[in-house]
Structure 1
Amino acid sequence: MAVLPLTVKPIQPPSGSKIDFGAQIDGIDLENISDEQFATIRNALYHHHVIVFKNQDSISPKAQYELTKRFDPAADNYGHGKTIDAKRSILHPDLKTVPHQPQVQIIGNGFIKSYEGLENFQLRHPHHRTFHKDHIPDDKDYDFTRFYRWHIDAALYDLNPPQVTTLLAVQVPKGRRQTLLYDDGSDETMDVPLGTTAFVSGERMFELLSPAEQEFVRTSKIEYAPHPQDKKLIIRASYIWMSPAHSRSTGLGLHTENLELPASDLPPIDASKIKILPMLWKNPVTGKLALQIHPSAIRRIHLADGTVIDDLARVREIVYKLQRPGISPPYVYAHDWEEGDLVLFNNRGVLHSVVGAFRPDEVRLFRQCNLAAVEEPVGP
C-alpha cells in the first residue's frame, strides 16, 4: 500500500483568540499507520497538543485503540465493567463499552437503536446541574451552558495518567449554538457550538503565572485524594471521594463544604497507591513545562521545604488562583465537532471539559479511548 502524503496544519484561531495550540493532520489512513507516519503524528501532538483528523467515519474501534496504545505500547488497560461503587459515583449508570473492543467507550446523548453490537441503549450527556453548586435556570437551559468539569483523564490513585486520549465523533447534532457563562462574578462569556469539547493548554497556564507563582509550582507537588475517581470507569471521570461535593460555576475545582466522603466510606485504601505528582509536567519532545493539576481531586500540597498544606479549603483556593487565568475565553479552544472528526489530545499537556445542554431528542454519539500509562509524569 502506498504511503499517503501527510500534512500538518496549525489550527487558525478565531479573531481575538490567543490560542497557540491545535493542528489538523490530513493525508493519513488511521487503519494503516506506518512507523514514519506515526513519528510525524507523535511529533505534531507534542508540539500542538490537540490534533484533529477529519473524515474518519470508517475508523474501527480496533484501530482507534491501537492508535491510542501506540503512544505507550506497554500501557495497562483500564478495566471496564461494573463500577467499584456505582451508587455513589457521579457516573451515568448506562455507560457503554464496545463489546468487541472493551477499551473503547461509547458516550453521548440520546437513544441509540444499534451501534457496534449494542442494541437499544440510552446515552446521557453530563449536565452541570447535577454537579455544580448552582445552575442556570431551567428556562434558559438550552440557550446557555457552562464548562461541566475541567480535568485530566486520570484515575489519580494506583494508576498513572494516560499519555493521550482519542475521541471520535460518530453522530453530532446540527445547527445550534449556546452561550457559555462563567458565572463567577466576572462578565466573561463564550459563544460555543452545542456539545463542544473545550481544551486549554497547561503550558500557557504556566506562562501566565507571575515569577513567584512559577517558582512555587516548579518546586511543589500535589497529593491527590485516595479513590478520588473510579479507575475502572475513568474515561467518564466518575468520582467516589468527592461525589457529594459541588463544583464551582467555572467547572474548575470544588467548593469546600465538608461534603467529601470520609475514609470509612471509601473502598480500602492502600497508602502506597496514593498519587503525589509534580504540579508541572515536562513535554517529552519539547521539554516545555505544563501546569497539569486535576483541580477536583486535589487533597494536599507538598512544598519544597517538606511542609504540607493540609487545609482543603486553602489547597483549593491556591490551585484555583493558579489555574483560573488559563481558562479565560481567549485561551480556550472549543472544538466545533463534525461527524468523522477524530481528536487526539495530549492528556499530559492540556485540560479539557465537557460542555453543553442537550434536548432529549438531540443525539450525540462518540467513541473515546485512553489507557493508564506505564510511567508517572516527569516534573521539572
Structure 2
Amino acid sequence: MNVAIIGGGAAGFFAALSCREAHPDANITIYEKSGKLLSKVKVSGGGRCNVTHACFRISELVKFYPRGSKQLKKAFGQFDTNNTVQWFEGRGVKLKSEPDNRMFPVTDNSQTVIDCLMREAKRADVHITMHCPVIGIAKEASGFLLKTKEATFEVDKVIVTTGGSPKQEGFDWLRELGHVIEPPVPSLFTFNMPNEPIKKLMGLSVPYVAVRVQGTRLNAEGPLLITHWGMSGPAILKLSAFGARVLHELNYEFNVQVSWVGVLSEREVQEQLEQLTAFHTKKKVLNLNTFGLPSRLWGFLIQKIDLREDITWGELGKKGQNRMVNILTNDIYKVQGKTTFKEEFVTCGGVGLQDVDFNTMQSRKVEGLYFAGEVLDIDGVTGGFNFQAAWTTGFIAGKLLE
C-alpha cells in the first residue's frame, strides 16, 4: 500500500508514524512543499514548543476549542492528552507542566521535539520529499494520482495535513474534490489600540482580568498583557479565538471592556472602597491599592479618571468612589485592527467538519482521502491545544481504517 501525506508539519509526521505502526508493510511518503519541516513546532511557545496542555479530562479539554469541540470529543476518545504525554515520554522527551498548565519539554527547546519526530520517522522508514508541492490530486478507481511539478505518482491513500491557509484559494483543490470549505479568517490575534495611552505601560502584565467585546456576547477571563501596540495575553487571545468570525465581520473595529478586578461585581468593589475610605482616610489613594493591581496600572487608572496624585481616601467622596468603581469594572478601550503571529498564525476555517468521519478522519466525499490538523475547520485557544488536535487527528488518520 502506497500512502501519501501532504504536508510536513506536526499532524503530517504523527500521521506517518501512526500509519507505520498500523501498517508495517506500507510505503509511506511525506510531501512537503517548502524546504522546512515541522516549522510551527520550531517556533511554538517562543521556541520551546508547547506540546500540549495538562488538561486530562476530555469533557474539560473540548471547551478550549471554539470550533470542532463536538467532533474532537469523539476523536479524543482514541488519543488524548494522556496519550500524548505517554507517546513523547516513551520516546525520551520528558514533559513538564507550567503554572498555567501548558506543557513543554523539560529542555525548554523545541528542537528536542523535532529531533524526536525526525528520529522516529527515520526509524519507521518514512520517506520525506521536500521542495515538492502537490499541485493536483485526482481520484482514480484504484486510488489517486498525485501531481507535482516534476512528476505524477500513483498512490492508494492520501492524508492531507497541509495546515491552515490565510486565503480561501489555498483550499480550492479540496473544494474541487467536493468538500465544503469554511472561509478562513484569523484566530488567535492581539488587539491594536493605536490611539490609547495605555500603550505606554507596554510590558506590564495583569494576572487576572475579565474582558468582553461591547455589543456582543463575547467574553473571556485570564491574564492580560499590555504591549506597544495594544493588548495581548491569554484573555485577549481567547477572546479573539472564540470571536474570530464576529470580529472579522466588525472589521476589527470595536470597543473592548476590561474589568481589572476580574469577576468582582460593582457592588463588591464599592464595598471595598467604602472600607478603605472609612479606615484609611489620611492615606493617599495612589499608595494603597488593595486590588493587587500593578502599581503602574493603578497610577494610570487614577490619572485616567482625573484624580489628583496626592488625593487621600478621606477626600475621595462619593463621586470619586463611583468613578473608581467604573474604571475598575468597566474600563473601555477602542480597538482598531489586529496583529497576528507570522510564524504561528492560526486560522479558523478549512474543510467543513460535516465532510469528515471523525472515527477515521476519512473524507465523506472521497474514499481513501483523510484529513488531519489545521486544514480542518478546527482551532483551539493558545496553550498547546492546536498541537493536541494535530497529534490526535494525525494519529487517527494514520491508522487508515475503512
TM-score, normalisation: structure 1: 0.31
Please identify which structure carries the higher helix content: 2
Task: Select the structure with the greater relative contact order (CA < 8 A; seq sep ≥ 6).
Answer: 1
TM-score, normalisation: structure 2: 0.29
